């Protein structure tokens, strides 16, 4: 039985960050259904931690660390290593609403925009997992270096280095760097 305090803490610390949790899980797993399973497992883990009296200073980073660990556990059990590094290009479509700038673009502009999103999503999916997770946490979820450091367990300098390398690899994949 879950205590009322744990339920209240769950509503306060976990529920506001479910979209970010799902986004990270989706990028790490490469599949919407798998990401839902990972987030569900992460929520169970978070609730158990809160029942145990876990002190949460930065809830978003705390939850994303749990999601990251749940995703790696799930991937280790359910996917061969070769598939873990592949991703789904439809992620760009999931974020289409956030990227729209308003107004109705012409059919040609809409087609170009869709192709660009798919190309960026495919390039992100092609990054090695450690670089992809750092890039997604920073650029899509908007976490600070400190929060990424806490979520991944890597020093801030390593987070900064991974982010710089991920951006460079992404630019190279997209053909914006010679």
**Looking at the whole model, is its pTM more than 0.75?**
no
How confident is the model at residue 101, as a pLDDT?
A: 45
How confident is the model at residue 123, as a pLDDT?
A: 85
**Which among 122, 156, 118 has a CA at the least distance from the CA of 137?**
156
Task: Tell me the helices (H) and strands (E) count for the chain, helix number first.
Answer: 11, 0
How confident is the model at residue 5, as a pLDDT?
A: 86
Scan for tokens 């996917």, then name that residue: 79
Residue 131 CA neighbour count, 13 Å, CB half: 17
Contact 120, 162 (CB under 8 A): no
Number of domain units in the chain: 1
**Which among 19, 33, 31 has a CA at the least distance from the CA of 67?**
19
Q: Which domain holds residue 162?
A: 4-174
Positive/negative CA dihedral, 120, 121, 126, 127: positive
How confident is the model at residue 177, as a pLDDT?
A: 59
- CATH code of the domain containing 81: 1.20.140.160
Torsion angle, alpha carbons of 105, 107, 110, 111, to 10 = -170
How confident is the model at residue 80, as a pLDDT?
A: 60
pLDDT tens for each residue of the chain, 178 residues long: 578 888 888 999 899 999 999 999 998 888 899 999 999 999 999 999 988 888 888 899 999 999 999 998 998 888 765 443 333 334 444 444 434 444 566 677 766 777 777 788 888 888 898 899 999 889 888 889 999 998 899 999 999 999 999 999 988 888 875 5
Query: Would you state the structure tokens that stand for residue 166, as one six-digit string?
Result: 């991920």
């Amino acid at each position: 039985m879950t205590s009322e305090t744990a339920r209240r803490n769950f509503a306060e610390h976990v529920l506001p960050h479910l979209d970010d949790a799902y986004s990270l899980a989706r990028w790490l797993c490469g599949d919407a259904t798998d990401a839902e399973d990972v987030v569900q497992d992460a929520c169970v883990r978070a609730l158990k931690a809160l029942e145990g009296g876990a002190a949460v200073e930065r809830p978003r980073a705390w939850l994303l660390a749990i999601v990251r660990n749940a995703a790696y556990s799930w991937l280790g059990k359910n996917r061969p290593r070769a598939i873990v590094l592949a991703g789904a290009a439809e992620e760009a479509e999931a974020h289409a609403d956030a990227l729209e700038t308003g107004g109705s673009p012409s059919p040609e502009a809409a087609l170009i925009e869709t192709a660009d999103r798919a190309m960026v999503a495919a390039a992100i999916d092609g990054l090695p997992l450690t670089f992809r997770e750092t890039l997604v946490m920073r650029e899509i979820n908007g976490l600070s270096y400190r929060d990424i450091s806490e979520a991944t367990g890597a020093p801030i300098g390593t987070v900064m280095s991974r982010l710089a390398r991920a951006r460079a690899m992404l630019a190279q994949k997209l053909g914006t760097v010679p």
